Amino acid sequence: MSALFEDYNARFSDLRTVGATFVLREKAFKSICGTGNTLILGPRGSGKTTLLKMMKISAQIAAKPTVNFLTLKSIKYRPVYLSADRLFEALTKGVDSENSEFGPILSSISKTLAAIRIKFSFLDTFAEMTDERTNLTPVVSHHFVGLTRTLEVEFCKLLCKTWEIEGDVINIKELRASLFTQISAINRLLDSYTSPSTRSESASLANKLFVDPITSAISFIDCFDSVFPASGKQWALCVDELEIMPHDLQDYFYMNLRSTDHRLLLKIATSPFTSAFSAFDSASPMDNNDYTSVNLSDAKKSESIKFTRQLVSEMVKREGHPGSLSVQAILGKSPITEENSDQKGSEGPYSSPRGAHYQRFRKLAGIDENFSAYLDRNQVNLEELDSLDESSRASKARQAIWQVALRLEHGANQKFRAMGVAKNRQNSRKTISSIYMGAESFLAMCEGNPRVTMGMFRTVLEKFRSNGSKVVSKSAQSEIIESTIAKYLSLLSAIALPLNKNKRHNSSVVTLLELIGEYCASQNLSGIFSPEPLSTFIVDDNLPVDIIKSFGAAINQGAFVMIEDKEKRKSYGRLQGARMRLSYLLCPRYKLPLTFGRSVPIQKILTAKKRGGTEATIRIKDLFQYHENI
Amino acid sequence: MHRLLIVSDLHVSEESSSDSGPSLISVHPDGKKLGECMFNELVRAIKLEDCDIDWIVCPGDLGDKANRAGQEYAWEKLTWVKVQLNAKHLIGTAGNHDFDSRLITADFDPRANLQSLTPFFPGVSQADCDKYWSRHFCIHNHDGMRVVNLNSSAYHGNATGPSGPEHLHGRVAAQTVDHICEEIKDQTATVNVLVTHHHLTRNDHIYDRDNSEMSGAGKLIKKLTDTTNSPWLVIHGHQHYPEIDYGRGSALAPIIISAGSFSARMSGVHAMASPNQFYVVEIAAPSQVQDGWYPCGTVRAWNWTPERFWEKSPTVHRIPYGAGFGCRMNPTQSARRVLSTLESSAEPYLTLQDILVAEPILGYMLPKDFGLLVWQLEQNGVKVTKTLSALDTTFRKVGAR
C-alpha cells in the first residue's frame, strides 16, 4: 500500500519546481506578503512550505505568468527562507538529551546552529538579489541590487567583523566556506563535551561560540545597509516547519514574534498544535497585535474548494488533458450539493415532483416518523418549499439536506423480518454511500490540502483516462475514497492514545475518531430529527494532558480541524475550549455530513462510550477490509 | 558540435517493493511511478538547458537479469525521451544483463528479448540492427561523426572458455576488430566514438577484483587508433562507476567515459561515490582555442536526488556538471595560464568562469587534472575556494607557500 502523502512534498522540491507548479492561494498569500509578522498554520500537506518557499526570489522567477503579477510585485521585503532540516538532531543525536547536565549546552548549540543556518540563508538571498536574472525578470526586479567585486569585498569584510569570522575573507564563497568550518567546530565541541575529562574546557568554548540567531540576522542587515545605503528595505525571515525544530528553538522563534528590530519581519510556518503554544501567557505574542495568523486548515469551505479546483485544473493540464476539462466532467455532479440550491422553478432542487431535494424529503417523510414529526412541528409543507423566500427555505430545508440524505441512506429504515417480527436496520457501515460521490464531495473531502488533493486526484485522473475519458464510475470513486481513508487511518494509527492505561492493549487516536464518529452518527441517524447535524465537539478544559497531546498530533495530521470562533481565536494553539470537527475526508466512513453543525462536549462522547462497555478500537483487519475489494 | 545524451545501466526490474530491488525503477505498478518521474525530470532538466540533442546513447543493461518487461519499459521510455527532446538518433548496446545467458526465461535464445524490442534494438535502422546481431557491430556516420556500436556481450550464453563462463566478462573477437577496421579505413570522420557496454581495461584501482573487462580490448583500441590516426572517444557502462580518463596509447590515446548508472540501486563501498547520473556529452568543433588537442568537449552531468529531481552534479562527484576532456595539459602549464590571468586582472578575485573566458582551453581538462591545477596554484600562493558549482570556484593571489 503506497502512502497517502508520498505524492508531493514541497520540502523535497527545488525552488524552480515550487515556482513552476505554484497555485495561488490568494488570500493567504496576500496576507503573508504584508509587511507585518505572520504565523502560518496548517496540518501536514496543507501547503505551508510551498507558500513560504514561494516567497523566495528564485521561486518567483520560475513562477508561471498566471500567478498574480501585482501580488508578487507588492512584496516589499527581502525574503530569507530558513528550512528546519534534521541538522540540529543529526549533530546532537549522540548526546543524551534526557541528561539534565547536557540540557543547557544542547540548547545553546541548537541556537548557534540556527544562527549559522540563518547566515547561510541571508547569503542565499543576497546571491539572488545580486543575480542578473533578478534584474531581468520584471516580477522580482525591484529586489535587484547591483554588485561590484569591490563592494563585495567591502561587504564581506564587514560581515566577518560582525559575525566574528577570523581569517582573510573577501568574497561570499569564502564566507560560506568559513561558516562551514564553524559547523565543524561545533561537531568537535560536541565530541569533547560528551567526554567528562574535557567537559569544562568545552563548556567555555561553547560560550565563546554561542551566537544568537536573530542578532545574526540583524547584524547582516546592519552591514548590508552600511554598504548599500540607498536600498533600506525590510527583510523577512521565513521560518519553515517550526514544529520539527527543538522545543527551545520553537519557543525562541515564536516569542520573537513579539519584539524584533523593525527591519526584520518574521514569517513562521508551523502545525496548529506545537509546543510553542503550550504556555500562552501575558508575555506571549498576540494574534492581530504582534502578528497575523493565516490558518490553512480552517479556510471557508467555498475558499478551499475554489483552491482545490484550481489545483486539480493544473494537474489536469499537466497530465495532458484539455485545460477546459472540469472536475464535474471527470467525476459527475454530487447528489448532495449546496450549489444551485437557491434555484427556483420546475428545474429547482426543491420543486415538486422532480426536484432532487424534494424527492428525498418526500421519501424520508414516508419512512421516518421522526422526520415526519419534525415537518409537522415546524409546519413545513414540502409542496411549498420551492416558493419559500431564501431565509425561510434556508432554515426549514436547506440546513437539513445532508441530514435527510444521510437518514435515507443510513438511517434504520431498512425493513427486515427476524424471528417473524418486522424490524428496521441500517445499511452496512463498510460501504461508501453514493451521496459522497461526485465533484463537489471530492473537492470538499480534499479540505484544500494540496497533498491530499494530489494523492486522490492522481488516481481519479488515471481512472478517468482508463475509462476512455468518460466520467469515473461510482464504484471506482468508491474505491478511491475507501483506499484513501484506509491509508489515512493507517497513518493516524501511529498516534498513540493513552485512553485506557489499565487495559493491556494500546489505543491509537483512531479509537478516538471511531468514538466521535459513531457517537455523532448515532445521534444524527436515529431519534428526534434535527435539521442541523451533530458533527463538531468541544474539548473540555479538564481533559488529561496526554489525550490533549494525542488530539494535537491528530490535528497536525489533519484528522481534526479546529474551527475558528468569531473572535478569530481557537483555531490553533491551546485545545482546551476549542471546537473541532473531523476532517471531511473521514466523513464517509462515519456517515457524517460534509458540512459542520451542532457540537457536543467531548467528555460526553467519551463517557457515553464507557457506559456502553465495548470499545471501538480499530484493528489491522479493519484497515485491510477496505482493500479486499480493490 | 555534437551532443550525446548518455543514459546507462537502467537495470529496470519487476520488484514490487519500491524500497529495495536492483533498480530505482520497476515495472511493477507500485514502482513505475518513480520511473515516470525520473524520465519526466530528465526531459525537464535538459529542456531547461536549451540544448539540442543529436544522439541518445544507452551503453547497455536496460533491464535487470534479462527482465523482459524491464527491458521493454526502458527502451520504450528512451524512445519517448527521443521524441520529447526531438533528438536525431537513439542507439543502445547490449549489456551483460540484457542477455538471458542462463536461459531463465528464454527457451533457447539468450538474445530473444532484445531482438523482440520495438523499435528495433539497438537502432537505428533495421539494416544496422541486423548487422549488429550478425557481425556484433554496426557503424553510423552522421554529420562528420562516426559511431561504432560494438556488442561486447556477443558471446554471452554461448560458451564457457578457459577464462570461465563468457557471461562473466566482455569480449571483442580479433575477427570483429578486423572487420570494423576494414570498414572504417576508407571513410573519413572528424570524430570517432566507440559505444560498448564493458570497460576496456581492468579497473583494479577501483575494485579489489575486476575480471569483467572486455577481452580483446587492447587490440581493438590500438587498431582503431592506428586506422584513423586520431583519438577515439569511448563510452561504456557496466561498472556503474562514473569516471573520465585517458586510455593507453600515445598522444592519441582514447578518451574513456565510464558512465554511471541511471537508476541501478547502489550499494557497497563505492555507493557514496557513484551516484545515479546521466550525461550530455558535448564534443566541440575543432578550433584554434583547443591548441591542437582533439577531440575536446565538456560533460554536463546530473545526479538523482532523494528529493526526486535531477540536480547538476556538484564538483565533489567524479563526473561533475561541466567536466571537460581532451586537453592533456600538465599542472605547471595550466597553472601558468591561470596565474597570468590573475596578474592581468584588476578584480580582487576571479571565478573559474572569468578564467575560462580568458583561457577557454582549461575548460577541456579532466576533473582530475583540474584538481592537480588547484594543487599547483595553491603551491604558487593562490587561494582557491571550491564551490559545489565548478564555475563559481574563486581564485585570488595571496602569496606563495
What is the model's pLDDT at position A280?
A: 57
Q: Is A20 on the interface with B (CB under 8 A)?
A: no
CA dist., res. A608 & res. A515, Å (int): 9
CA dist., res. A299 & res. A302, Å (int): 8
Query: Taking residues B4-31, what's their average pLDDT?
Result: 86
Q: Residues 6 or more apart from B133 whose CB is under 8 A from it?
A: B111, B115, B151
Q: Is the pLDDT of residue B368 over 50?
A: yes
Cβ–Cβ < 8 Å for B196, B122? no
Contact yes or no for A149 and B347 at CB 8 A: yes
CA dist., res. A592 & res. A397, Å (int): 18
A201: its cell numbers:
574546557
Contact yes or no for B385 and A171 at CB 8 A: yes
Cβ–Cβ < 8 Å for B396, B350? yes
Q: Provide the 3-class DSSP secondary structure of residue A138.
A: coil
What is the model's pLDDT at position A279?
A: 57
Query: What's the 3-state SS for A435-474?
Result: HHCCHHHHHHHCCCCHHHHHHHHHHHHHHHHHCCCCCCCH
Q: Which of A16, A17, A153 sits opposite B348 (nearest CB)?
A: A153
Query: Taking residues B77-86, what's their average pLDDT?
Result: 97
Mutation test of the interface with chain A: which of B316, B394, B398, choosing the one with the most A Cβ atoms within 10 A? B394
Cβ–Cβ < 8 Å for A279, A141? no
- Computed over every residue of chain B, the mean pLDDT equals 90
Contacts of A174 in chain B (CB under 8 A): 383, 385, 394
What is the model's pLDDT at position B160?
A: 66
Contacts of A153 in chain B (CB under 8 A): 348
Mutation test of the interface with chain A: which of B349, B351, B392, B397, choosing the one with the most A Cβ atoms within 10 A? B349
Q: How far is CA A316 from CA A64, A327, A471, in A?
A: 16, 9, 14
CA dist., res. A359 & res. A383, Å (int): 10
Q: Return the residue of A nearest to B16 by Cα.
A: A1
Exposed e or buried b for every residue in A347-357, given b needs 16+ CB within 10 A? ebbbbbeebbb
- For the stretch B222-250, pLDDT in tens is 999 999 999 999 999 998 999 999 998 88
Which residues of B sit within 8 Å Cβ distance of A? 18, 30, 48, 306-309, 311, 347-349, 383, 385, 387, 392-394, 396, 398
Contacts of A176 in chain B (CB under 8 A): 387
How close A322 comes to chain B (CA, Å)? 19
Burial of A153 (0-12, 13-18, 19+ CB in 10 A): middle
How close B47 comes to chain A (CA, Å)? 13
- For the stretch B322-363, pLDDT in tens is 999 999 999 999 999 999 999 999 999 999 999 999 999 999
Contacts of A150 in chain B (CB under 8 A): 348
- For the stretch B26-60, pLDDT in tens is 998 767 788 999 999 999 999 988 889 999 999 99
Mutation test of the interface with chain B: which of A16, A153, A173, choosing the one with the most B Cβ atoms within 10 A? A173
Q: Is B394 left (phi over 0), alpha (psi -120 to 50) or beta?
A: beta
Other CB atoms within a 10 A radius of the CB of residue A42 amount to 26
Element (H, E) at B255: strand B255-258
Q: How far is CA A626 from CA A488, B211, B338, in A?
A: 12, 52, 68
Contact yes or no for A171 and B394 at CB 8 A: yes
- For the stretch B146-156, pLDDT in tens is 999 999 998 88
- For the stretch A462-473, pLDDT in tens is 899 888 889 999
Q: Residues 6 or more apart from A295 whose CB is under 8 A from it?
A: A41, A42, A272, A564, A571, A572
Half-sphere exposure at residue A80, Cβ-oriented, CA atoms within 13 angstroms: 25
What is the model's pLDDT at position A421?
A: 61
The stretches in chain A having pLDDT less than 70 are 1-15, 17, 19, 85-103, 194, 231, 278-281, 298-299, 338-346, 412-430, 499-506, 566-571, 609-630
Burial of A212 (0-12, 13-18, 19+ CB in 10 A): middle
Q: Is the pLDDT of residue B391 over 70?
A: yes
Cis peptide before B295 (omega within 30 of 0): yes
Contact yes or no for A12 and B306 at CB 8 A: yes
Q: What is the ipTM of this complex?
A: 0.73
Contact yes or no for B387 and A173 at CB 8 A: yes
Q: Is A170 on the interface with B (CB under 8 A)?
A: yes
Taking Cα atoms as reference points, which of A368, A372, A474, A365 lies closest to residue A426? A368
**Residue for cell digits 581492468?**
B202
What is the model's pLDDT at position A259?
A: 72
Contact yes or no for B309 and A13 at CB 8 A: yes
Taking Cα atoms as reference points, which of A448, A556, A564, A554 lies closest to residue A511? A554
How close B307 comes to chain A (CA, Å)? 4
Half-sphere exposure at residue A46, Cβ-oriented, CA atoms within 13 angstroms: 28
Scanning A121-150 for CB atoms below 8 A from B yields 149-150
Helix A509-525 / helix A401-410 crossing angle, nearest 10 deg: 100
What is the model's pLDDT at position B395?
A: 96
What is the model's pLDDT at position A265?
A: 95
Contacts of B308 in chain A (CB under 8 A): 12
What is the model's pLDDT at position A92?
A: 56
Q: Provide the 3-class DSSP secondary structure of residue B323.
A: strand
How close B400 comes to chain A (CA, Å)? 15
Q: Which of A13, A168, A174 sits opposite B307 (nearest CB)?
A: A13
Cis peptide before A349 (omega within 30 of 0): no
Residue type, A339: E
What is the model's pLDDT at position B206?
A: 67
Burial of B117 (0-12, 13-18, 19+ CB in 10 A): buried
Taking Cα atoms as reference points, which of A242, A296, A308 lies closest to residue A46? A296
Q: Provide the 3-class DSSP secondary structure of residue A336.
A: coil
- For the stretch B98-134, pLDDT in tens is 888 777 777 778 888 899 999 999 989 999 999 999 9
Taking Cα atoms as reference points, which of A403, A603, A626, A625 lies closest to residue A512? A603
Taking Cα atoms as reference points, which of B249, B248, B136, B237 lies closest to residue B196? B237
What is the model's pLDDT at position A188?
A: 80
A282: its cell numbers:
501575558
CA dist., res. B137 & res. B252, Å (int): 23
How close A45 comes to chain B (CA, Å)? 16
Mutation test of the interface with chain B: which of A170, A181, A466, choosing the one with the most B Cβ atoms within 10 A? A170
A vs B, Cβ pairs < 8 A, gives 38
- Computed over every residue of chain A, the mean pLDDT equals 82
Q: Return the residue of B nearest to A175 by Cα.
A: B385
Q: Return the residue of B nearest to A17 by Cα.
A: B309
Q: Return the residue of A nearest to B389 by Cα.
A: A173
Q: What is this structure's pTM?
A: 0.80
Contact yes or no for B392 and A150 at CB 8 A: no
